[in-house]
Amino acid sequence: MAHLLHLDSSADPERSRSRALGRTFADAWLKANPSNTITYRDLHARPVPHLADASLHWPARLRPAGSHPPAEAEALQTELIDELVAADVLVVGAPLYNYSLPSTLKAWIDHIHVPAVTAPFDVETQPMKGKAAVILSSRGASYDAGTPTADWDHEVPALSLILGSALGMRITVIQTSLTLADTVAALAPQLDRSNAELAAAHRAAAEAATLFGTSAAAASA
Ligand SMILES: Cc1cc2nc3c(=O)[nH]c(=O)nc-3n(C[C@H](O)[C@H](O)[C@H](O)COP(=O)(O)O)c2cc1C
């Protein structure tokens, strides 16, 4: 049996591609092993508040003298970190908003990335080390290598840095681009590519869920 933490952050409950990819992943996860389980968190429908106090970036023993973060905020942070650490695999629906993360997803990151708790600082703690993190990236336009906008996506690099380098997770990026090709006239000539990328992303999501859902279940058996 293996446990998945599934996050969504798209503000579009109807047409979201990252939400659809997440559903494909979750379905294949449960099929991979009938005893696999899922915790689902919709960061748009039920947003995590902004970090209440900068001192929450640290465990209590490293906080500046005299800092007293609100107990309620600290309890929420503990809940979010416990929820993450309980997971064998993390899947994150990650729409590109203003070349960056949706603010709802960033608020979650601000709570769970805590030096000396989830990332190394003065102690080598990395409870998520070696676990898989799957980023389901959906982007209205395209940012192809060799084009002038190649490095305009600041979401996937930031998530990879935090979940991969800081938390030590193994990152898989599944991407669907040109999602606006069916609504924005200027992108319409690229509709075939958009559809092909989406279909490939669904296949990749199902494959990753089957692989991680089987191997993580075997590892925890
Ligand atoms: C607030 C907002 C900002 C956006 N900013 C960008 C952007 O910077 N670059 C881009 O390619 N698409 C941008 N888009 C389009 C989304 O990336 C695109 O619609 C994507 O499919 C959203 O993911 P979803 O389908 O999972 O909702 C933006 C959409 C919204 C709602």
Q: Is the CB of 176 under 6 A from ligand 1?
A: no
Q: Which residue among 8, 21, 135, 139 is best mutated to probe the pocket of ligand 1, counting the most ligand atoms within 8 A of its Cβ?
A: 139
Q: What is the DSSP string of 83-95?
A: HHHT-SEEEEEEE
pLDDT at 215 (0 to 100): 85
The closest-lying atom of ligand 1 relative to the alpha carbon of residue 180 is 19
Q: Which two tokens stand for residue 38?
A: 């899922």
What distance in Å separates the CA atoms of residue 176 and residue 21, rounded to the nearest whole number? 9
3-state SS assignment for residue 104: helix
The closest-lying atom of ligand 1 relative to the alpha carbon of residue 142 is 11
Query: Is 143 in contact with 152 (CB distance < 8 Å)?
Result: yes
Query: Is 32 in contact with 117 (CB distance < 8 Å)?
Result: no
Q: Which two tokens stand for residue 192?
A: 């075939």
pLDDT at 221 (0 to 100): 67
Q: Which residues of the chain have pLDDT under 70?
A: 217, 220-221
Q: What is the DSSP string of 155-177?
A: SHHHHIIIIIIIT-PEEEEEEE-
Q: How far is the CA of 179 from the centre of ligand 1 (A)?
A: 8
Beta pairing class for 132-138 and 170-176:
parallel
Q: Is the CB of 98 under 6 A from ligand 1?
A: yes
What distance in Å separates the CA atoms of residue 37 and residue 55, rounded to the nearest whole number? 33
In this structure, the residue with its CA closest to atom 30 of ligand 1 is 97
Class of 3-62+69-219 in CATH: alpha beta
Contacts of 45 (CB under 8 A, 6+ apart): 13
Give the C-alpha distances (Å, rounded to integers) separating 162 from 6, 28, 29, 109, 215: 17, 26, 24, 8, 24
For 17-70, write each residue's pLDDT tens digit. 999 999 999 999 999 999 999 999 999 999 999 999 999 999 999 999 999 999
The closest-lying atom of ligand 1 relative to the alpha carbon of residue 18 is 26
Q: How far is the CA of 157 from the centre of ligand 1 (A)?
A: 16
pLDDT at 219 (0 to 100): 76
- Sequence length of the chain is 221
CA 106 remoteness from chain centre: 10
Beta pairing class for 3-8 and 170-176:
unpaired
Q: What is the DSSP string of 178-220?
A: -GGGGT-GGGGGGHHHHHHHHHHHHHHHHHHHHHHHHHHHHHT
pLDDT at 29 (0 to 100): 98
Ordered by start, the domain boundaries in the chain are 3-62+69-219
pLDDT at 167 (0 to 100): 98
In this structure, the residue with its CA closest to atom 10 of ligand 1 is 140
Q: Is the CB of 138 under 6 A from ligand 1?
A: yes
What distance in Å separates the CA atoms of residue 194 and residue 183, rounded to the nearest whole number? 12
CA 117 remoteness from chain centre: 19
